Amino acid sequence: MKKLFVFALAILAMVGRVRADEGMWLPMFVERLNYVDMQKMGLQLTPEELYSINHNSLKDAIVGLGSEAKPRGFFCTGEIVSEKGLLFTNHHCGYSAIQKLSSVEHDYLKDGFWAKNFSEELPAPEMTASFLIRMEDVTNEVLGVVTSDMDWTARNKAISTKIKDLEKAASEDGKYNPVIKGFFEGNEYYMFVYQVFPDVRLVGVANSSIGKFGGDTDNWMWPRHTGDFSIFRVYADKDGNPAEYSADNVPLTPKHHLPISLDGVKEGDFTMIWGFPGSTERYMSSYGIDYNVDTFYPIIIDIFGKELEVMDEFMQKDDAINLMYADNHAGLANTWKNFIGQCQMLRKNKVSEAKVGLENNFMLWVNRNNKEEYKEALPNLKEAYKSLGEVAKYIYYPNFVAQAGPAGVASMFSTYYDAYVSKDKEGQEAALMMLQAMDVDELFAETDQRVEKKLFAEMLKTFKAAFKAEELPEIYNIIDKKFKGDIDAFADNVYEKSIFATPESIKAFIANPKPKMIGKDYAYIMNTSMMEVIISHVPAYRQAMQTVSQNDHVFVKGLREYYADTQPEKSLYPDANSTMRMSYGSVKDYMPADAVHYDYVCTAQGILEKYVPGDYEFDAPKGLIDLIEKKDFGAYADENGDLIVCFLSTNDITGGNSGSPIMNGKGELIGLAFDGNWEAMSGDVNFEPRLQRTINVDARYVLFIIDKYAGATNLIDELDIRKSEPQPIREEEEVVE
């Protein structure tokens, strides 16, 4: 037993140690937890200059990009870079807004866009900019409503009610937007108070052949040559307050903006990244990892892969379709490749095995110290994930099929049809009024029937391939009997005859409803037959998910106590949950495999090497190619005359950090974080210090594109661009040749 415990401790030392570059830290604790380490690594700012609620600080330049007034989560991060509210973020972060602003005649994704003055800036649809005012520990208030006699459901209900009360009180009658979130699996709670600005406008973006150079092929890969940036501006009313779009609004005067450095990076330079990382699962059990890799991720990879094949087929042939589906395709492709990478790297990097070592060590401590509260957490998680593995495909596959094309539209008529069947006239009238108020055209916006029909058929085929014949729902009996098993013929029939296939047929039905027709409609039957599969497995699924949630809470509570007992010097950071975090590290290369070395920078020469004229991923504008071939880089070249496009750092980030500023020790912008690397795709579950790197677009490349390529000198003039003066060599330091 002693040898086993010593071995477990060795495993724990490998898994549990927090390196200087590991962790997404809450800024309010920077002085207590991180400042000394950061100072040693090269930070030159004071704690107050980093985070303060009483004075302007670096946090005031960090922006959460969302799409709603209540900032429950952010899809990306941005940073303010001028005294006039100018905002930098990634190209892929602005992608959705840019696509919505585009048309075939004015395709800003394909051609780029550069406003020469304020009046030319375009209101960005569905984009908000949130600034953090303060964060506050409310753990005692939230958990104060929990009593020992509450079950898990009652506990969560009481917590939810208390959170709503606290958020309402902190809003100051709507002046602020407070959000309270749980940390360490609900063992702590913090409130984040925001001001949300809904008037955000597009200022500048390069062609997608720059901003998305390398496409899906290069996604998550190094070396990378992607100019992943776009530029927006935040507007406010004349008093500087948040306001809906108005021609009378003015550019926001921010509390703080980031200067931009031309000094570039050297290996070992200190770096810090601030932003809103979306989600990590660093405390996930080995059972959760195995479930994801063996069951959940493969299902999503299968479904998304089929959808992407269909979109690609049409998008590469038709510019209008390409623009129409660009945003949807980008999101699907990113998740699809991410899950493929996680499946591969979680296994290759033996993350589950490392977690087993930690769990064994934890249980030895639990049993040795008679910690009864924690004894069943891991066994319960094992059983819960086993149950999830048994029911997952009966939830996820039919869910995607039920939403496909007309089947998804048909589901919106279920309340009306159910009221008709049950002869509930009052309910039927109320449901019809809801249907009459529906924006039918919006349901079909940015869709093409040819694409949708093939997606519809492929989802049915994908489902059929994943299940045994005896498990197939009623809709497949209809396809067999009426269409001789031909799913494509079935899809043709639905799109020709279904009430729910076109805006015109839906409007005609609502104008002259014949509810009996709904029950005979193949799209409706398809939806309901898939829902029957889901409903029959929902109780087991929900029970398993609740067991996971409850026992994750207990397990993480136990882990924190365990670490406090065995490694009191260890500081724990909470999982990312779309709240402001700070990570710090350094510029560094890496070796992904034996005899393979990746430098920490890549240059514009790599664009020439990858360039394939006419290729939808590796084409590049002639103007850019000419500048690179002439080495016409202006002030943005490094000391060797090269133009650095991207660089690597050891910062700990995840999705949501896209667009985050990466800064030097002075708090100057040196680049924008936009990706992680393939070899560390397991990083959301376990930080991989030897392999894990953040890919950043160099600030000098951003400025080069704005200035030399786009000629948007009005923006260059607005920025605070800095370059350090060369330090004189003291006499005793002179080099003798």
How confident is the model over 634-638, as a mean pLDDT? 97
Quick check: 701 and 645 in contact, CB under 8 A?
yes
Within-domain flag for 722: no
Q: Is residue 418 part of a domain?
A: yes
Residue 68 lies in a domain: no
Examine the pLDDT at 21 and tell me if it is beyond 90: no
Mean pLDDT of 166-179: 96
Concerning whether 257 is annotated as a catalytic residue, the answer is: no
Q: Is the pLDDT of residue 407 over 90?
A: yes
pLDDT at 69: 80
Q: Give domain status of residue 463, yes or no.
A: yes
What's the number of domains the chain is made of?
Answer: 1
Domain that holds residue 411: 286-554
In tens, the pLDDT along 236-283 reads 999 999 999 999 999 999 999 999 999 999 999 999 999 999 999 999
* Residue 203, token pair as written in the block: 């200022």
pTM score, whole prediction: 0.93
SS3 sequence, 669-700?
EEEEEEEECHHHHHHHCCCCCCCCCEEEEEHH
**Residue 75 in this model has a pLDDT that exceeds 60:** yes
Question: Does the active-site annotation cover 67?
Answer: no
Instruction: Note whether residue 108 is domain-resident.
Output: no
Cα separations in angstroms, 487 against 304, 417, 454, 466: 19, 26, 10, 15
Catalytic residue among 91, 92, 256, 553: 92
For 50-66, the pLDDT digits (tens) are: 999 999 999 999 999 99
Task: Yes or no: say if 202 and 97 are a contact pair by the CB < 8 Å rule.
Answer: yes
- Active-site residue among 107, 199, 218, 228? 228
Reference 555, options 374, 288, 371; nearest CA is 374
At 7, is the pLDDT very low, low, confident or very high (cuts 50, 70, 90)?
very low
Catalytic site residue 228? yes
The answer to the question of residue 477 being in a domain is: yes
Asked if 640 contacts 573 with a C-beta cutoff of 8 angstroms, the reply is no
What pLDDT was estimated at residue 734?
47
How close are the terminal C-alpha atoms of the chain, in Å? 64
- Residue 658 confidence (pLDDT) above 60: yes
Which is catalytic among the residues 658, 682, 684, 698? 658
pLDDT digits (tens, 9 = 90+) for 478-507: 999 999 999 999 999 999 999 999 999 999
pLDDT per residue as tens digits for the range 189-200: 999 999 999 999
In a domain, 292, yes or no: yes
Residue 585: strand pairing partners: 271
pLDDT of residue 214: 97
pLDDT class of 729 with cuts at 50, 70, 90:
low
pLDDT above 90 coverage of the chain, percent: 94
Is residue 377 assigned to a domain?
yes
Q: Are 235 and 250 in contact (CB under 8 A)?
A: yes
β-pairing, 721-722 vs 260-261, is parallel
